[in-house]
Amino acid sequence: MSRTTQKEINRENLLNQGVALLMQQGYHGTGLQEILDAVQIPKGSFYNYFGSKENFGAAVIEHYITPYVEQMSRYLAQDPDALSALQRYFNESITELERTDFKGGCLLGNLIGEIGDSSEVCRVALQTTLNRYRDVLQLGISLAQQQGTIRTDKSACELADLLVNTWQGALLRMKVEQSTAPLTQCCQALLGDFFKA
């Protein structure tokens, strides 16, 4: 195995462990040593990968959203009905959150509340990542508009922003209420009613 390949594997392991621990314990509740011990990488190597805990946090944020963007992109590619693809994505997200007993919610929402205004590096990563997530939803909404299933008097960008904002708020309420009812209400009110043509 080449050194580059092992370095990529180590970086991926660090990011995956970072997602898991930051989701469970938050940014301030997670120590570097805990992450390093879990993936068995020396502290000096960590700094070669990320330079600082703050840079690591930013990389974790960007790493976290990738599977969600890829999943939504796959659904849009597979389903000729873009609105159905959007609904499927959110319904499966709700089912997964029920399966995990409402633990975690969304790492982005958690970190926005914890460090969104105290770390410029992480704030920029959060903003960039939210925009990336919004953009894939915007694509789905735009396709649905072209198919005549979503209203066109508002732009796809406006509707995608509304969906992201409402979903993030619903995720926070889900954690407090220990129920996916806010998520279901969000999807029914927007995708099942307000967005429809």
pLDDT digits (tens, 9 = 90+) for 40-83: 988 888 888 999 999 999 999 999 999 999 999 999 999 999 99
Query: Total structural domains in the chain?
Result: 1
Spatial distance between the Cα atoms of 150 and 162, rounded to a whole number of angstroms: 14
**Percent of the chain predicted with pLDDT > 70:** 98
Domain assignment present for residue 37? The answer is no
Cβ atoms < 10 Å from Cβ of 193: 9
Spatial distance between the Cα atoms of 189 and 197, rounded to a whole number of angstroms: 13
Domain assignment present for residue 125? The answer is yes
Spatial distance between the Cα atoms of 183 and 41, rounded to a whole number of angstroms: 38
Domain assignment present for residue 123? The answer is yes
157: tokens are 């960008």
Domain assignment present for residue 112? The answer is yes
pLDDT higher than 70, residue 4:
no
**Least confident range of 31-45, 56-70, 86-100, 183-197:** 31-45
Q: What pTM did the predictor assign?
A: 0.91
Residue 71 belongs to what domain range? 58-194
Domain of 96, CATH number, reads 1.10.357.10
Domain assignment present for residue 150? The answer is yes
Domain assignment present for residue 20? The answer is no
Domain assignment present for residue 162? The answer is yes
